[in-house]
A and B are shown apart, each in its own frame.
Chain A
Amino acid sequence: MRTEKKISQTKYLLILYVIFFQFFISSCKDSNRETIAVGLSTSPITLDPRYATDAISYRITRLLYESLVDFDEEFRVKPQLADWQKISPTHYRFSLRKNLKEFHNGSPLTSEDVRATYQSVLNPEEISPHKGSIDMIKSIHAVDPNTIDFKLFYADPLFPGRLVIGILPKELISKKHNFSRQPIGNGPMKIISFKNDKHLKLKRLDDNKIIEFITLKDPIVRVLKLLRGEIDLIRGNLPPEIVSWLAEKDSIKVKKKKGSTFTYLGFNMEDPLTGNYYIRSAIAHAIDRKSIIRHVMGKSARQAEALLPPEHWAGNSDLVSLDYNPDKSRRLLAQAGYNDSSPLRIIYKISNDPFRLRLATIIQSQLKSVGIEVEIRSYDWGTFYGDIKEGRFQMYSLSWVGLKIPDIFYYIFHSKSIPPHGANRGRLNDYNVDLILELAKFEASLDKQALYYKDLQKYLLDILPYIPLWYEDNILVSKSDIKGYKLNTDGNFDSLRYVTKNN
């Protein structure tokens, strides 16, 4: 009796076991994914180009919408939807190209849509972060369906370069359509779904290929997903040692291209210590940037001497590099009244990003070797950023991403741009800087403007309100079956318009 019972129990267990494994194995099979999946470190905050300020939102909205103008590799303005004509210093006429693509809802793109888009940005009720960049616009007039006039309050030679906001359909703007989650533009891709703010699916209109953007905060998980083929490519935001490790794998391709993301050390010019030129200069000569780039950043960066890279039309390629010279640094410290018996003590604030923290400890160690005691204080982004804006720091490091128009100098270094009026976080108040910036701002010729900015960059390197560190490379890590992704200096995702996957 007992044996029979045992046999029947074992039989049932075996059946259960088989059913479980059937289910398990069937659910474990990889689906044959036809899509191209991109791993992102953060989700886009919005898909409405009128409100996009973060890099990911900007890069994705470029795929969904087109703007009047765009930039080339030297950051010069070039036509996209329209060509322009300067009728007077305060009057620009834009003519839309013929045979423009329709909006994704089927309506044609006309000058009325351009007018409605820019007027909604300027509308006081809309509160767009980009309003400040186009508030010189006095009026917008649609001359005919293909021509639009912009009249300005004052002359702005850089004006065409400011019209980079993607164009939205007028009809939907008036209906207060939620472009942030249901974007409708005339770009090369249209939205399919945006699930949980983590999984965005777009369809490429040329070949109906689905492009997925999957947010994966943890870089290790992003890499493991790539190795297992759950995603096809990752653009940046990976620790350099992981990139080097991936480069050795047969199934993975790593591409690099010079980028324009500028990393710097900033000083509080109102602080008695960092306001002292000798101290700033001593710090500058004590940092061995070449070694950091070679050994820590895996050669994925190039040394920077100014905010704009040398290939920028207003960049200065003749700047003399800040050399690594510990002896000079010690001499400068002595001139400022510090030596080994009375060392200089500085507080260095950074965000809590692990890689930035690692870089900070290396800089701390390099400064220690010349007798500067650095205390690192690392905070979450909100706290750190709040402190920097309020001027509660001596030294900090940050990066500028996506700089294109050179009047950013006004915003960062003019004495009228101290937060909250701008990003002069170091509270620089220098007569010469202000003068050059004013002259450049009202100079009608772009070539002459470029000369002013070149001079300014040389002067800034002399007075050192920032220590330029490096420009980070744009990096693509992809499965080897991904073809045709061309990296660019801007770091955008434009190559997803034509990238292919060999299944």
Chain B
Amino acid sequence: MKYQVDEKGFYGDFGGAYIPEMLYPNVEELRQNYIQISESESFQKEFKSLLSDYVGRPTPLYFAERLSKKYNTKIYLKREDLCHTGAHKVNNTIGQILMAQRLGKNRIIAETGAGQHGVATATVCALMGIECIIYMGTLDIQRQAPNVARMKMLGAKVRAAESGSKTLKDATNEAIRDWINNPVDTHYIIGSVVGPHPYPDMVARFQSVISAETQAQLLKKENRDYPDHIIACVGGGSNAAGLYYHFLENPRVNIIAVEAAGKGIDSGKSAATSALGKEGIIHGSKTLLMQTPDGQITEPYSISAGLDYPGVGPMHAHLFRSQRAEFISIPDKEAMDWGLTLSQMEGIIPAIETAHAFAVLDVRKFSREEVIVFNCSGRGDKDLETYIDHFKL
């Protein structure tokens, strides 16, 4: 268990719960109960049944024949883009809404950047008939109008975060403030493997269904239950944590994490946290984050709204520092080109976040016998406007 969380909530040097005392009762209640609840038979039964009948799991592990031929290796896509709501995000929100119900909470809050996690949260709240408030930066509300409309249709209230840079990190701050102000009846559904312990571990566990299915599917297709390489994009890191989870302790599996280089690592407009970040505290977690020398958190940039988080989950910070994972960063342009390539070679229009992962095929060599699994974490519907602008479609 070298790469999983320890009993104090740390991944190596990273993680923990650096929270103001006002949040202690909420976070402590969750910490004391999350494993027992999520491993209980009744929880597992309901979780699995919703994942299968509502989300549409298991998602296929698809052998990408044309891509494999072109790159002379064996490429599989874990099709999280086929999940209900269009991305892996819903695996976590299903888990957390069931957790909230069992903790007796009747009000849900969440943060969202591009709106994917907001939509996934609003969806499960509608499913369960629970009040839902989504915090979203004012700038993101302007940039992501269709997702704002989706959340509203699903019955959620969307509240604008006006503070700071008016984007994801500020929406997260606002959600945390709401939780401080409503400590008894509210559960905060964090959307990624970030935040204070136990969130990174809890979210990773809910997303771990991705690697559990991959193991079983590979066994059928390749006669072994592990690949040689697993590749996923990393913003906060939840889809990556899900794909890596059951392979973390298997040294035969090479882990590749793909960050957004934006306009280039040294351009001042980037979200490559492993290259640009320093150890610090963000949203209650000790991890790598982008900041000024004075310790003020800076605003990252990527063309993909799901990758522009100034930090990275503590599990990933540990994978980076311990060199368990290879970190590669991909600029906007290459990611956009791969959005087109995947569309035209496999008939799959990926989210721009997801497209970053595939660009690894151009920067790193793989051999013919090697088996690679990409997390095809989300579909590109939400990004059509960006694709239209970029390719003048």
Do A and B make up one complex? no
Residues on B close to A: CB < 8 A?
Answer: none
